[in-house]
Chains A and B, each alone.
Chain A
Amino acid sequence: GESVGLHLPTLSVQEGDNSIINCAYSNSASDYFIWYKQESGKGPQFIIDIRSNMDKRQGQRVTVLLNKTVKHLSLQIAATQPGDSAVYFCAESITSGGSYIPTFGRGTSLIVHP
């Protein structure tokens, strides 16, 4: 079956560094992608999304890159802060026909050292 997976289960960085979290997806028909942040004891929180007609999208301190050729998605966090420590996971979905049923990645734990 189709799956979304993350390359690295844990990423440790120093405060102020840039962080890059990767995600591979396998369904070439997916046209919508989301990154979520999940802090301990809380539900997932939407960070940023990107549609397949784009290859880059920027938010506040975050950038998502999409490479459809190799089915790869990445989340870049600039000037990482201790408050960024959380599990980050991606999701892919097919929005054609109005269905948004997502497939989620396993997650990467980001640890930011002060």
Chain B
Amino acid sequence: ETGVTQTPRHLVMGMTNKKSLKCEQHLGHNAMYWYKQSAKKPLELMFVYSLEERVENNSVPSRFSPECPNSSHLFLHLHTLQPEDSALYLCASSPRGGLDTQYFGPGTRLTVL
């Protein structure tokens, strides 16, 4: 266990559904990340939050909406997704924003029907 938890671990949703992914860390880290890992593409950084403020957006479609209410929690709100959005969504945290100190959660396996 890395200290980063994600819920749910598996999610199946229709294209008209609205769902949210949750990430939680109690490591005292100041930066949190959302990544997308699909079968056909390399790992992609979606969002970065540092001290609860969004730092990088990385041109992610608006159907993905992140929320970071505090330094321990990160959400990814999903609405009107497409089948190609099916992937493993990984959350990570780091003390100061460095890649070398990132701790990843186990991911949420999302399937969009």
Q: Which residues of A contact B (CB under 8 A)?
A: 4, 32, 34, 41-46, 49, 89, 91, 93, 98-107
Contact = CB atoms under 8 A, between A and B. Distances in A.
18 contacts: A32-B99, A42-B106, A43-B2, A43-B90, A43-B105, A44-B90, A46-B99, A91-B43, A99-B56, A100-B97, A100-B98, A100-B99, A101-B45, A101-B56, A101-B58, A102-B45, A105-B42, A106-B41
A34 B4 CA distance: 20
Interface of B: 2, 4, 41-45, 48, 56, 58, 90, 92, 97-102, 104-107
Contact of A91 (B41, B97, B99): B99
Contacts of A105: 42
B43 A104 contact: yes
A43 B42 contact: no
B86 to A, nearest CB: 17
Contacts of A104: 42-44
B43 A49 contact: no
A54 B44 CA distance: 26
Contacts of A106: 41-42
Given A100-B97, A102-B99, A89 B42 contact: yes
A104 B90 CA distance: 14
Contacts of B98: 100
A41 to B, nearest CB: 7
